[in-house]
Chains A and B, each alone.
Chain A
Amino acid sequence: MDDDDPSPAVKRLLGAHMPTAGGLANSLYAGKEIGCTAVQLFTSSPRQWQHTPLSDETIAGFKQAKSKTGIAFTCAHDSYLINLAAYDNTVLERSQRAFLGELQRAHELEIPWVVTHMGAYLDMTLEAGQQKLISSLKRLLEETSDLTAGIALETTAGQGTGLGYRFDQIAEVLEGVGPHPRLGVCLDTCHVFVAGYDIRTPEGFDQVIQEFDKTIGLHRLMVIHANDAKKSLGSRVDRHEHIGEGEIGVEAFSLLVNDPRLLSIPIILETPDADKMHAVNLAKLQRLAAAATMGMHIHVRLFGHYSESDQNDQELAVPSGLSVQKLTDILAERDPNLRDMASICRVAINEEYASLDTTLKEGDVVAFVPPMSGG
């Protein structure tokens, strides 16, 4: 989509959580390769307590990768083992020490934010868990006052005794710690959805963002995780799905990448099957973003059994210069039942048969015509 790349005032940063196999810098090179302008990574193994300090060589290599790739935003995700609300003092101490390491490494790598889940209260009450978390965060921020990296609390799915699945819980924690420039929030679309926030429609999406702003404050939002959900609204089960293929659906992601209130917030994918599918999911988000910024409008009509699709007979905002072939990709993303349309149908533009590589113009009526059965 480079050929007609628009240059909006704010460049929407899109990327993914990239693997660090072969070295931290590789997350950036691999990210660049699939078109990321933002990258999230683990700065140490996420399933181990032990970590060795970063070598000068690693730090220099990472900084060099950043300038070479031009990736504008990076963030780290903390280890899965860390529980900053742990009841057991040994676990709590260990978690805090590990998190200090997370902040130290992020600082050295010039990564501005470490995203963390808010911990689980296990045998305690929710209130007691929150208090533990608040004192952990206070301690961490105090002890790292000379570091630049901040803590971004991630909205969670509310699995088990996980904290932070309601916006007001996060607001209480933020309030308990007190305002701090190095304390922010990360919104995860899958987590908020399974936690009960319905973002599937324009009205619902708007309401959820408004509620976030009212309770937490959009100025606290530092990064967004874009994930579809395998499980249903309110299920509180955290299973990520490819963009547009889960319970949330593609519309929410179109709203997400185009919401003017969120335009300056980097978006990171954490969808499954990173090696193969990050490129696909990223391209989807890019297309959804492009569709709105470069608008032209066309009218889509489907016939035969395809007319049963909810994509039939609609005005669609698409990028300028879109070909019919690319339009079929967009439609197939919105409704998987339309995947074979390009190979089966003839296309008619403004009631004349045309070829699949025809470039569409503003106001065109595009009809997909399966083999006919009149007579």
Chain B
Amino acid sequence: MSKITREPIDVIELSSRVEMETNGAVVSFVGQVRNHSRGQDVIGLEYEGYEEMAEKVMERIADEATSRWPVQVAMQHRLGKMQVGEVTVAIAVGSPHRDEAFEACRFCIEAIKSEVPIWKKEFGSDGSYWIEGENRTPIRLQSESVEGNDVPAVP
């Protein structure tokens, strides 16, 4: 139910995995590429991960959520290059009642952000940066010139 993918995430399909007749609530969280960051325009992102480990850690987070709340959890994180508006991560939590579903969903996204070994590179109007942690200064890429075709070249 938890996986890393390099394909676009199908949010509807993911939700359908936790839709059960006993569930009165399905809460989804969908993360997507924002067009700005730290006051600068963002053109696109690239996520890289320690894939072998990332999937294991995601499964552990889902297990933790289902042991704490009466929920079913499905989640996917996408790696690779993405443009503004594309879905980077999606979580679907199904539960008999909405409170548990909201709580468990919140838990999952926070745990993904702090525990799953995935990092993003931001390609923006002011250059390309590694983002490491939410509050640390971005680090400029050493190899800026080599970007793929699916993200517009950075001046």
Chain A residues in the interface with B (C-beta under 8 A): 301, 303-305, 307-308, 344, 348, 351, 367, 369-375
Contacts and interface: CB of A to CB of B under 8 A. Distances in A.
Contacts of A371: 132-134, 136
A367 B88 CA distance: 24
A373 B50 contact: no
Contacts, number: 76
Interface stretch (B12-20, B64-72, B96-104, B112-120): B112-120
B117 A308 contact: no
A308 B114 CA distance: 22
A375 B89 contact: yes
Contacts of B89: 374-375
Contact of A372 (B109, B133, B139, B141): B133
Contacts of B130: 304-305
B50 A374 contact: no
A372 B131 CA distance: 8
Contact of A373 (B53, B54, B115, B131): B131
Interface of B: 31, 47-50, 52-54, 56, 77, 88-89, 109, 112-120, 130-134, 136, 139, 141-143
A145 to B, nearest CB: 62
Select the residue from B54, B117, B133, B134 with max chain A CB neighbours within 10 A: B117
A32 to B, nearest CB: 43
15 contacts: A303-B48, A304-B119, A344-B132, A348-B53, A351-B52, A371-B133, A372-B132, A373-B118, A373-B120, A373-B132, A373-B134, A374-B89, A374-B120, A375-B109, A375-B112
A248 B47 CA distance: 36
A369 B117 contact: yes
Contacts of B49: 374
Contact of A374 (B113, B139, B142, B143): B113
A351 B56 contact: yes
A373 B119 contact: yes
A130 to B, nearest CB: 49
Contacts of B31: 375
Nearest to B119: A304
A351 B51 CA distance: 10
A354 to B, nearest CB: 12
Contacts of A374: 47, 49, 54, 77, 88-89, 112-113, 116-120
A107 to B, nearest CB: 56
A241 to B, nearest CB: 23
Contacts of A351: 50, 52-53, 56
B117 A367 contact: yes
A308 B142 contact: yes
